[in-house]
Amino acid sequence: MFKRINRLAIELPEPSHGDMNAAAAVQELLGGKFGEMSTLNNYMFQSFNFRSKKKLKPFYDLVASITAEEFGHVELVTNAINLLSKGNTFPGDPDIAPLQNGKDARNTYHFIASAQTGLPGDSMGRAWTGDNVFSSGNLVLDLLHNFFLEVGARTHKMRVYEMTDHPVAREMIGYLLVRGGTHILAYAKALDIATGVDLTKMLPIPDLSNSRFDAARKFEEKGLSNVLYTWSDTDFKGIGQIWKGTNPENGEPLKVIYGTPEGGPVPDLDELPEEFAPGITKDDYERIAKRLLEGL
């Protein structure tokens, strides 16, 4: 089971304006082949399907705990897309075309289908597919796949970072560069224990430190590249048998935190009357509030 906390992994800045084409690019980090929906579903199905959970508990604990973090990453990227959609249209009479900016957007589907919010698809509008899930049942093969998946995800984050300087996108990507780098190292260390092959000698891939990115540097300085969370108060503590020693990139000790990060508030999206969203008027709200209070 999963326990949900109504907070984002980090606090995202509240923008004065959005960027509809940056939102389209960031979609790749959500629903692309190497996006957060892929990392989540790969690890989720691998953890559900894991054989010999008791015998190989540290490896199961590692995949299961990272699964829980990936749920939060899907939430974080989606909220970044939502904030990047702020102020891209305006309210008004339908005949003045209040959604007119949408026709020139890279992803018109944002304006047509989801009232300018995140979609389960990539930067070109293709829907995410379960074909992106790899769960072979072979521990070493799955760990090697996960290492590659995280490296591919890091590459795409670096490229989207260079495509937009919007502060919301940069903040989100900076954080995920650090956390993704942590997951790369975690899978490398797991493979070292399972096979004796030291993949940490290959890192970082691409050959550029997170500290070179302004938006990632502050998360590096907080030590987030050295931490893995159990995402549970009592379970998955076996990750400590894998996540130990020092970080080969900075020489600092690795640490397991039992629980979750503090996180930040979830953005409260404004009404968009030009999108008929949420479609609840002031009078509707007053009637709903009255019904909610009945019987209390």
Tell whether 11 is in a known binding site.
Answer: no
Q: How many CB atoms lie within 10 A of CB 277?
A: 15
3-state helix, strand, coil in the chain (%, to 5): 55, 5, 40
Q: 123 a known binding residue?
A: no
Strand ranges for the chain from DSSP E: 227-229, 255-257
Taking Cα atoms as reference points, which of 69, 182, 190, 185 lies closest to residue 141? Answer: 190
271 assigned binding-site residue:
no
The answer to whether 166 is a known ligand-binding residue is no
Q: Is 274 annotated as a binding residue?
A: no
Nearest to 262 by CA among 218, 222, 216, 234: 222
Residue 277 vs residues 78, 80, 114, 271, 274: alpha-carbon distances, Å: 17, 19, 9, 6, 8
- Binding site residue list for Mn(2+): 36, 70, 73, 150, 183
- Binding site residue list for Ca(2+): 61, 232
- Binding site residue list: 36, 61, 70, 73, 150, 183, 232
